[in-house]
């Protein structure tokens, strides 16, 4: 448990087809930054651990919790991250994991040609001769700008969190 990360255990003896009973965990929503500060925890450290755990789930395991809103992520007083409600999960095959890693690296390097290659690898754009046209390059530039803008907003919100460990 290198990320101080917990997933509630299911208790089948107390569950039915309509009710799933899991272990109860105390904690606050990850969005309760005031309480997290009162506990003396560093929000950036928690955010880094959560992103690292998600990178492991997505890029190594290929299976991840697909509903990570604040109501599904608790922080305990000791800094443990608890992920709740596994009603929405997803998986990525090896090719998709590799393609997304290539895309993230290409965006981080601002390498438009590598972005095109990653999007082709992922099947988002065709790999025919038309993919090199100005229209496709404009699409890629648009995608790149959107990803960069979202990343920039996220970095501001999390006080310059670094994502290099995902690559």
Closest CA to 48 of 149, 150, 165: 165
Question: CB neighbours of 55 closer than 8 A, spacing ≥ 6?
Answer: 165, 166
Distance CA 96, CA 60 (A): 11
DSSP-derived 3-state class of residue 45: helix
Distance CA 97, CA 121 (A): 11
Marked catalytic residue, from 32, 42, 61, 67: 67
Known catalytic residue: 67? yes
CA 114 to chain centroid: 22
Q: Catalytic amino acids?
A: 67
């Amino acid at each position: 448990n290198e990320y101080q990360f917990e997933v509630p255990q299911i208790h089948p003896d107390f569950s039915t087809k309509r009710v799933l009973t899991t272990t109860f965990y105390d904690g606050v929503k990850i969005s309760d930054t005031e309480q997290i500060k009162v506990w003396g925890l560093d929000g950036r450290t928690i955010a880094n651990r959560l992103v690292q755990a998600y990178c492991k789930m997505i890029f190594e395991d290929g299976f991840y919790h697909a509903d990570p809103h604040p109501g599904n992520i608790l922080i305990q007083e000791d800094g443990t991250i608890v992920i709740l409600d596994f009603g929405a999960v997803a998986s990525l095959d090896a090719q998709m994991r590799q393609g997304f890693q290539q895309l993230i690296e290409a965006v981080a390097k601002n390498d438009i040609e590598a972005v095109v290659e990653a999007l082709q690898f992922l099947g988002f754009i065709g790999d025919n001769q038309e993919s090199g046209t100005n229209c496709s390059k404009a699409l890629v530039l648009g995608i790149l700008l959107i990803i960069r803008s979202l990343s920039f907003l996220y970095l501001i919100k999390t006080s310059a969190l670094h994502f290099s460990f995902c690559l």
